[in-house]
Amino acid sequence: MAVKGSALRAEGNLTLRTVCAKCGKSIPTEAGHPHPLDETLARETWGLVGYLAGEKTVFATCDACHATGWRPPEYVRLE
């Protein structure tokens, strides 16, 4: 994995990463925009809210799965 920015961010610290709920790809836990000093500003992680066993849950989703329209079971869009 290429290291950009700081070891205190997800690119350089594997403990700050999670897996996509759909495809299992490793993605950063930062659900917002990358650090302003990064060369490419692209959102990599989407936090989608759905239900799992009746409990509201946030499903970390990679940009590719989000772009295909995948949503967790009983997806609820928060405004």
Mean pLDDT by 10 residues, the chain (79 residues): 56 80 89 61 83 87 94 77
Nearest to 5 by CA among 32, 40, 29, 31: 40
Count of structural domains, the chain:
1
Structural domain including 39 reads 1-79
- pLDDT at position 76: 76
Residue 28 near residue 11 (C-beta atoms within 8 A) = yes
Q: What is the pTM of this model?
A: 0.71
- pLDDT at position 39: 63
